[in-house]
Structure 1
Amino acid sequence: MADEDKTATSTSDEKPKAGIFGRVFNAAVEKLDHKLPWYKLPKPLGLVALIGIRNTLRQENLQDTSRLPAVEPVQPPPFEGRFTTERTPDGSWNDLVHGEMGMAGTRFGRNAPLEATWPDRQRILDPSPREISRRLMTRDNGIIPASAGNALIAAWLQFMLHDWVKHGTSPTDNPWVIPLAPGDDWPEPPLQVMRTPEDRTSPPDSDQPPTHINVNTHWWDGSQLYGNDLAAQSFLRSHAGGKLRLVDGLPPVPDDPALNPVYMPGFWVGMGMLQTLFAMEHNAICDMLAAAHPEFDDETLFQRGRLVLSALLAKIHTVEWTPAVTAHPTAVAGLRANWWGLQGERLHKRFGRLSGSEIVSGIVGGQSDHHGVPFALTEEFVAVYRMHPLVPDEFDFRSVDTDAPTLGQTGFDELAGPAGAEVLQTNRLVDLLYTFGTMNPGLVCLHNFPKHLQTFRRPDDGGLMDLSATDIVRCRELGVPRYTAFRRFLHLPVPESFDDITSNKQWAAELQDVYNGDIDSVDLIPGMFAEDRPEGFAFSDTAFRIFVLMASRRLNSDRFFTTHFTDEVYTREGIEWIEKTTMGTVLTRHFPELRPFAGASANAFAIWKRPGR
């Protein structure tokens, strides 16, 4: 592409203002939403309401932390012409004017007003995060299933989070120490939560709210497969045919235990399964590109393959995973419209974009737009994605060939860290995928937190963690507003009593007791988990409001999904691969044995029917 294109792909630094009609429309939608939310309206009206909700969120809930004072902030590498058609290893130069935007090592943004994001240091441990975990989160009577979906939903979420967000390695010298109540059976007192690393770029004695750094790139760029820097990327590549390395059928791991992801707390068999599956998919894309373009060298094949695979991940998440966990007809239509517009998939495939409007023809292939705020993932986005209840405590591993037990019932503690790596090494991947596809995840609600994650043994240092208590501490520590304030900032009705939070009388009474009758002290996560969910939803409408804003934004801001989503950049064959591929296609391409299951479902994240059941 010509050098002059470099300035043409960045939008104005000024936040756009809605016109009179826009302001009236958005205000009317907000007023209606307080009386009759979008999910109770007929689908056409519900879609109109979601447009108005998103308009308001774009205007009022994108807060810029990148322009706050900083000391030695991360700088992008010098610009090279090839960056116009390649994703860089560290995420730099996605925006061709502000090369640092969204790169690894830059700050998380905010969806709440900056002045509301000061952590309340006096109440970091009040009420006790451990008591919230014990009394509100624990699975008392087994898993509460999300009956329509399958456990690939839980694996996929972890797979995506490893692409998007990471706060870095916590210091160990000054942990939060949570007092234990009489009768608490915590096995290894004291209960400690390590602190989130500080933002090294924040000026000392700053009077600005604390900010934090995302170690990962903020972009939807497959960094869980390709790494966040050149050294990691080089290690993962085969340097032949554009492909990623597979060692004994699995992605390679470094010899240094400190760099080995298997020893990091987020690794488990679900994560490893999808890393392997999509490394295989990347290599299949490279084979296709090599056959179509014999002139492509290793570097070109790798870079084009990465573009195609990253877009495919974004498409699967947008039009398959999220509709599977928000299976309300209006939400499904709205999410699909993010990709194809209201014109729909069929017309889009036949005629392409019919309009420049993202509402009519979707975001993908349209114009980039940061809506006046430099792109960054946000702390509130991280908070609503803390969905550990999706994870079952036990997995019933079976053979795809006979449905007979292989490993049989296996606890989560036997599937995490090095134990999880051993399961991957000693079992067929197709059987693991079959098992996940034929069992349910959990609902994201109270009393449904995986017990193994409340006593989780870290694989790196052997420390014991209560991840439910840790989630509460993290939200407070990072200045995520508590539940009533969070809803106020998202322009939602604010509950005035505990019965307003949930129709479940027992949960309302438990919340009132744990929070000593102070509704404004209710943390975001317990509040969201207690909410009555819209029809078909596995999680709350409050969380969905962040999705409405950020699901669009991650596409809008990324030029590789907008202005550069072209044959010239991806190749015609690459665009066609994205258009024709679904999660079911990926599964059955590499494992034909899954055709009767994943291939028979309209959405591969829906529960697969086991033989004879």
Structure 2
Amino acid sequence: MSAPRRPGSSLRLLFDRVAERIDRAVGWHRLPLPLGLAVLIGLRDRLRDRNLHDTSGRPAIDPPPVGPPQAWHATARTPDGTYNDLARPAMGMAGARFGRNVPLDHTHPETLPELLEPSPREISRAVLTRREFQPATSVNALVAAWLQFMIRDWFSHGEGPRDGAWTIPLADDDPWPEPPMTVLRTRPDPTRPPGALGRPATWANTQSHWWDASQVYGTNAEEQRLARSGHDGKLRLTPDGLIPYPTGEGSPARMPGFWLGLAMMQTLFAREHNAICDRLRAEYPSWDDDDLFGRARLINAALIAKIHTVEWTPAVISHPTTRYAMRANWWGLTGERLYRLFGRISDSEIISGIPGSPTRHHGVPFAITEEFVAVYRMHPLVPDHYAVRAAADDRLIEELTFRDIAGPAAIQITEKLAMTDLLYSFGTAHPGLVTLRNFPRFLQEFERPDGRRMDLAAVDILRTRELGVPRYNEFRRLLGLRPAGDFDDLTEDRADAAELRRLYRGDIESVDLMVGMYAEPRPAGFAFSDTAFRIFILMASRRLNSDRFFTTAYTPQVYTRAGLDWINDNTMATVLLRHHPHLRSSMHAVTNAFEPWRRSTS
């Protein structure tokens, strides 16, 4: 079903329409801060009205099973995401379908031959290949590690079938070692009836849709059992404070997308979970292992969500208006200081922030969307080369390529090199800009742990087409944005415009979403596009609005007073320094841990 128009006053509807017109005429980022904030609030309302669409009500078979309700569901997250909404326990669970941010009659999965036109591989080689690293100098490389850490929590389409792979023909001068290039199809939706006709085509998320730190705790009961120590609510760690990743075919380190940055973040927040358990055990000595684990997970997940909202996002979209707006998502327009003095002074999310406000689904059951997945294809953030330096004196320890830190090799690096030095090395280096000609070369010739080769840039383009996400201009229209009139309108770089015109045979309407987002001019302070930001305006708040544990259950009765204080009082910097105090001299001058750190001296 499509999103119904939400009821609202005539004044609100007028305000939202005016905000959209001002944005189209001037651009929110060119306005003074108060007016820019007002426009963003109006744009979010418009997106909530028009860009939330449900796929769960379409015909389905064999939905993921939901167990009977338990008393503990009221105060703890389940392994698979069930019972977040107590009235609709399957909402957002692992195995549930992805939703959409565009109307369902616009979600046309492309078929052959259009699916391969223009060739994703040709686009990758011509306008995406990184020939010279373009850094995002306002942030450090931890932003790339953090993003993969978040994605591992939010979504995965799962492993595609081995038969019927897409075949991409290659040019005569293409150096690909095993022509033709093949790409596994996306895993079919197991809940879709065989032979079902009509739209929309649907796919299912193997992860829990909720912001529940499943990348630390697992997505099912067995994964959670393996992660837990069974004592004092804590997670398993080695004596050296590392996660004891299992070996063999089922190891997380052998799954696509695993690399050193992800291992670093998973380890850091496994340690943070155990620190929270120590705090809770001191406060509530009668609690058993399950009590401590459940509350510590709630607290850790909320702290991760807070860090992403008020630190990571303002760092990568470092415009004065967005910095203020993201903090307001958490603390409200009245700000953190007033919140700490008086708590919530209003039910309004605008005044007092989303945490603790009423739960709101805005007329559509909660789900991560295919469009959200598409705009998070930000592989240019990842550098190709890594200089590991000592936190104590900046001494060069080892130079690595991405190949050296991907897959099972990442575990070997964490066992060989000190985690403090690895974090310092990321904190003092830059990620890449999300722009044309900045895709990591290693990921264009990536060999997966299972031996399959892939050009991830070409795969990203193919996936977006395959999953029925509209191409760039149509995507912008459906979000209320002005489409690019021609290639010179799309990008300020005349050489890029000419090359894109050649690749797309002069048809601006056929430009892929990812390519258009990489090409378009960015607002000041942004490491990625304004088009992608429109999905963030909508979904960044929705992931909090719909989650009971960030809204009606965000209370001392559920989290404990000590738990809420832990969330309020901690930041990415305090987490890093709690577990790696030797980073203090490098971090003492930064106000946001995702900004570049000071280099150490001997």
Specify the TM-score bucket, using the shorter chain as the normaliser. over 0.9
Q: How far did 1:254 drift?
A: 2.9
Give per-residue Cα distances to partners, 1:241-279, cap 9 Å, x unaligned.
000001343212234x23201111111010001111110
User: Which one of the candidate residues 523, 526, 538 is aligned to 1:534?
Assistant: 523
8 A Cα contact 2:253 2:407, kept in partner: yes
1:552 maps to 541
8 A Cα contact 2:55 2:200, kept in partner: no
Structure 1: which 5+ residue stretches go unaligned? 1-12
Give per-residue Cα distances to partners, 1:76-108, cap 9 Å, x unaligned.
211112101110010000001000000000000
8 A Cα contact 2:393 2:601, kept in partner: no
Please give the alpha-carbon distance, in whole angstroms, between the structure 1 residues aligned to 2:33 and 2:45. 18
User: Which one of the candidate residues 169, 173, 191 is aligned to 2:181?
Assistant: 191
Please give the alpha-carbon distance, in whole angstroms, between the structure 2 residues aligned to 1:172 and 1:75. 26
Q: Which amino acid aligns with 2:543?
A: R
The SS at the match of 1:395 is strand
The SS at the match of 1:124 is helix
Tell me if 1:477 matches 2:469: no
2:417 maps to 427
Q: How far did 1:612 drift?
A: 5.5
User: Which one of the candidate residues 380, 392, 404 is aligned to 1:414?
Assistant: 404
2:146 maps to 156
1:50 maps to 40
User: Which one of the candidate residues 421, 426, 434 is aligned to 1:436?
Assistant: 426
Please give the alpha-carbon distance, in whole angstroms, between the structure 2 residues aligned to 1:281 and 1:537. 30
- Where do residues 82-481 of structure 1 align in structure 2 (5 Å cutoff)? 82-122=72-112, 123-140=114-131, 142-206=132-196, 207-247=198-238, 248-255=240-247, 257-407=248-398, 409-459=399-449, 461-481=450-470
Q: How far did 1:609 drift?
A: 1.5
Tell me if 1:38 matches 2:28: yes
Bigger shift: 346-355 or 465-474?
346-355
Give per-residue Cα distances to partners, 1:289-338, cap 9 Å, x unaligned.
00111011111000000000000000000000000000000011111100
Give per-residue Cα distances to partners, 1:438-463, cap 9 Å, x unaligned.
0000000000000000000101x211
1:588 maps to 577
Tell me if 1:491 matches 2:480: yes
Give per-residue Cα distances to partners, 1:331-364, cap 9 Å, x unaligned.
1111110000000011111111111111111111
Q: Which amino acid aligns with 2:433?
A: L
Q: Which amino acid aligns with 1:474?
A: R
Tell me if 1:79 matches 2:69: yes
User: Which one of the candidate residues 595, 604, 609 is aligned to 2:598?
Assistant: 609
Tell me if 1:543 matches 2:532: yes
Bigger shift: 282-291 or 118-127?
118-127
8 A Cα contact 1:584 1:599, kept in partner: no
Give per-residue Cα distances to partners, 1:406-446, cap 9 Å, x unaligned.
11x21001110111111111110000000000000000000
1:9 maps to none
Please give the alpha-carbon distance, in whole angstroms, between the structure 1 residues aligned to 2:422 and 2:438. 23
Please give the alpha-carbon distance, in whole angstroms, between the structure 2 residues aligned to 1:487 and 1:560. 33
The SS at the match of 1:121 is coil
TM-score scaled by structure 2?
0.98
Please give the alpha-carbon distance, in whole angstroms, between the structure 1 residues aligned to 2:490 and 2:51. 23
Q: How far did 1:503 drift?
A: 1.1
8 A Cα contact 2:23 2:39, kept in partner: yes
Tell me if 1:564 matches 2:556: no
Bigger shift: 413-422 or 42-51?
413-422
8 A Cα contact 1:174 1:194, kept in partner: yes
1:20 maps to 10
Please give the alpha-carbon distance, in whole angstroms, between the structure 2 residues aligned to 1:281 and 1:402. 26
Please give the alpha-carbon distance, in whole angstroms, between the structure 2 residues aligned to 1:382 and 1:241. 36
Q: How far did 1:34 drift?
A: 1.0
User: Which one of the candidate residues 587, 590, 600 is aligned to 1:598?
Assistant: 587
Please give the alpha-carbon distance, in whole angstroms, between the structure 1 residues aligned to 2:456 and 2:414. 24
Please give the alpha-carbon distance, in whole angstroms, between the structure 2 residues aligned to 1:244 and 1:559. 24
Give per-residue Cα distances to partners, 1:125-159, cap 9 Å, x unaligned.
1100000100010012x210000100000000000
8 A Cα contact 1:588 1:599, kept in partner: no
Q: How far did 1:599 drift?
A: 3.7
1:503 maps to 492
Q: How far did 1:18 drift?
A: 2.6
Please give the alpha-carbon distance, in whole angstroms, between the structure 1 residues aligned to 2:290 and 2:4. 37
Please give the alpha-carbon distance, in whole angstroms, between the structure 2 residues aligned to 1:121 and 1:35. 36
Structure 2: which 5+ residue stretches go unaligned? none
RMSD: 1.2
The SS at the match of 2:12 is helix
The SS at the match of 1:417 is coil
The SS at the match of 1:177 is strand
User: Which one of the candidate residues 552, 565, 579 is aligned to 1:576?
Assistant: 565
Q: Which amino acid aligns with 1:567?
A: P
- Where do residues 2-21 of structure 1 align in structure 2 (5 Å cutoff)? 16-21=6-11
Please give the alpha-carbon distance, in whole angstroms, between the structure 2 residues aligned to 1:603 and 1:267. 26
TM-score scaled by structure 1?
0.96
8 A Cα contact 2:33 2:321, kept in partner: yes
Please give the alpha-carbon distance, in whole angstroms, between the structure 2 residues aligned to 1:393 and 1:144. 11
8 A Cα contact 1:263 1:418, kept in partner: yes
The SS at the match of 2:548 is coil
Please give the alpha-carbon distance, in whole angstroms, between the structure 1 residues aligned to 2:517 and 2:432. 15
Please give the alpha-carbon distance, in whole angstroms, between the structure 2 residues aligned to 1:191 and 1:183. 14
Q: Which amino acid aligns with 1:326?
A: I
Please give the alpha-carbon distance, in whole angstroms, between the structure 2 residues aligned to 1:27 and 1:283. 48
8 A Cα contact 2:109 2:467, kept in partner: yes
Q: How far did 1:490 drift?
A: 0.5
Q: Percent identity?
A: 56
Bigger shift: 373-382 or 26-35?
26-35
Please give the alpha-carbon distance, in whole angstroms, between the structure 1 residues aligned to 2:166 and 2:232. 49
Give per-residue Cα distances to partners, 1:445-504, cap 9 Å, x unaligned.
000000000000101x21111000000010000001000000000000111111111111
Please give the alpha-carbon distance, in whole angstroms, between the structure 1 residues aligned to 2:255 and 2:599. 34
Please give the alpha-carbon distance, in whole angstroms, between the structure 2 residues aligned to 1:69 and 1:354. 44
Q: Which amino acid aligns with 2:222?
A: A
Q: How far did 1:15 drift?
A: 5.6
8 A Cα contact 2:585 2:600, kept in partner: no
Q: Which amino acid aligns with 1:88?
A: T
The SS at the match of 1:73 is coil
Bigger shift: 128-137 or 245-254?
245-254
